[in-house]
Structure 1
Amino acid sequence: MAVADTRHDDTVTCMAARLLRDAPEEFALLGTSMGGYVALEVIRQAPRRVRALALVSTSARADTPEQVASRDRQSRLVEAGEFDSLVDAAFRGLVAEQHEKDLALLDIWRAMARTVGAAGFLGQQRAVVGRADARELLSTITCPTVVIHGADDRLIPIEMGAECAAAIPGAEYVVIEDAGHFLFREQPKATASAVADFLGRVDTSH
């Protein structure tokens, strides 16, 4: 298993191209949140190389004007030296409401954010704002696909996951209860099991 590094590019197109340069000829692909945007761009660029696809906590839609404005405000805060404050403020929307006071989850989120860093965050924001709407791509996906979404996701509403699953031919759809956008950390066993069960049912061999 390899984890794509999205800290060095500021477009989803370039992130996907970097992933494809570093990946084997054929592979199973999982993308969560922004990684889902990158995964869909990988499908756009090289659909035959993806043997199986998992889209987690993501959407095929481009940002709305309101989302673009929100990202711009966040970027200006980071440029003003408020990265740590923004990370803490973002936590509330990242998890389900019932997990807002979970300090262990907050510590994990802070550590992940530090790994990305302020410069990486700004590049990722530019990439997300500039990405193309991918809804027209969904019906062309032919590899086995599972869409996984947290029932209580407040960052990317569950309807966005349902939309993806409905548009991808033969896609499986799994809802993780008691989880928001951070579902790999909020419900790690249930989420990992959903991915493992899916991969166990599909042929990812060459």
Structure 2
Amino acid sequence: MAEPLVLLPESMCDARLYWPQVAELSHEMAVMVAPVHLGDRIEEIASGLLDVLPRRFALAGCGFGGMVAIELQRRAPDRVARLMLIGSSPLADTPQQATDRDRLVIKARAGRFDEALAGLIPEESFADRPFRPEIIALVREMGQSFGPDIFVRQARALQRRRDQQAVMVKLRIPVMIAAGSQDTLYPEKRQSVLAELVPGAVLRMLPGAGHLPMLEDPDGLCTAIRDWMRLPAAR
């Protein structure tokens, strides 16, 4: 029997990010979306999640959620049966990235929250596909529902995150690195380097999708998840 599937959303996103996967895959396996905004640091968020997640589970995370997923695996390797990172990275913020986040934080605190959200996941990171305007509107709506305080907390958590490359090198579980081929935030070359870092990792690029393939190419991501869940557990 397949392990329960835990999905972690991108920064300033909630369970609606994964509604196509929940609707499609819940016929085949237990699926849950866990929050990634309940803490000031990635370590704190991961610690809180371990108190409520199943004893053993398959774990997939997008962007910020992928960074929390890596920390979960580091803290509880006996509980994470397999790992999927969707448009994410194990690297710490560069000085330039930290500075860019400071600029967004200033906007969020100065009453320019719409601009801050638009800078977090820019429109150019979405591929030119059907329903693009509706997807962008949903992402902005999710962000607005969290508000500026959560925005600032997640930005600070990103700035403070540790480099997790050493964790990735040691993984001996089924790992898939997935991303949209048109993702400008986590481009294909960077995803290829990440896949090479993990022994036996499978790289799955979703053609024509951008940073959020769960909405931009839901069928493609569902297929990728099924393939990942079928990867042999033993390394």
Question: Using the alignment, how far apart are the partners of 2:131 and 2:223 within structure 1?
Answer: 26
Question: Using the alignment, how far apart are the partners of 1:180 and 1:42 within structure 2?
Answer: 26
Question: Using the alignment, how far apart are the partners of 1:2 and 1:35 within structure 2?
Answer: 14
Q: Is the 8 A contact 2:123 2:136 kept in 1?
A: no
Secondary structure of residue in 1 paired with 2:65 = helix
Alpha-carbon deviation of 1:101?
9.0
Matched letter for residue 135 of structure 1: Q
Matched, 1:42 2:72: yes
Matched letter for residue 50 of structure 1: V
Alpha-carbon deviation of 1:94?
3.0
Q: Which residue of 2 aligns with 1:143?
A: 173
Q: Which residue of 2 aligns with 1:18?
A: 48
Q: Is the 8 A contact 1:33 1:56 kept in 2?
A: yes
Question: Using the alignment, how far apart are the partners of 1:63 and 1:17 within structure 2?
Answer: 21
- Structure 1 stretch 68-77 or stretch 6-15: which is displaced more? 6-15
Q: Which residue of 2 aligns with 1:167?
A: 197
Matched letter for residue 182 of structure 2: D
Matched letter for residue 146 of structure 2: V
Alpha-carbon deviation of 1:158?
2.0
Question: Using the alignment, how far apart are the partners of 1:101 and 1:47 within structure 2?
Answer: 38
Alpha-carbon deviation of 1:114?
2.2
Q: Where does structure 1 lack aligned partners over 5 or more consecutive residues?
A: none
Q: Which residue of 2 aligns with 1:5?
A: 35
> CA deviation digits over 1:166-205, x for unaligned, max 9?
111111110011112122111111112111221134459x
Counterpart among 122, 126, 142 of residue 91 in structure 1: 122
Question: Using the alignment, how far apart are the partners of 2:200 and 2:53 within structure 1?
Answer: 25
Q: Which residue of 1 aligns with 2:214?
A: 184
Q: Is the 8 A contact 2:64 2:88 kept in 1?
A: yes
Q: Which residue of 2 aligns with 1:79?
A: 109
Alpha-carbon deviation of 1:113?
1.1
Question: Using the alignment, how far apart are the partners of 2:122 and 2:138 within structure 1?
Answer: 10
Question: Using the alignment, how far apart are the partners of 1:101 and 1:29 within structure 2?
Answer: 28
Matched, 1:66 2:100: no
Higher relative contact order (CA 8 A, sep 6+): 1
Matched letter for residue 181 of structure 2: A
Q: Is the 8 A contact 1:12 1:127 kept in 2?
A: yes
Alpha-carbon deviation of 1:123?
0.8
> CA deviation digits over 1:19-65, x for unaligned, max 9?
11111111110111001110111111111111111111001111111
Question: Using the alignment, how far apart are the partners of 1:33 and 1:93 within structure 2?
Answer: 16
Question: Using the alignment, how far apart are the partners of 2:183 and 2:114 within structure 1?
Answer: 23
Matched letter for residue 123 of structure 2: R
Larger fraction in helix: 1
Structure 1 stretches of at least 4 aligned residues deviating more than 4 Å after TM superposition: none
Question: Using the alignment, how far apart are the partners of 2:136 and 2:58 within structure 1?
Answer: 30
> CA deviation digits over 1:78-134, x for unaligned, max 9?
0011112332454324313x3599311221111221233221111111111100011
| Aligned Cα root-mean-square deviation (Å) | 1.9
Normalising by the residue count of structure 2, what TM-score does the alignment of the two structures yield?
0.80
Q: Is the 8 A contact 1:174 1:194 kept in 2?
A: yes
Aligned length: 203
Q: Which residue of 2 aligns with 1:152?
A: 182
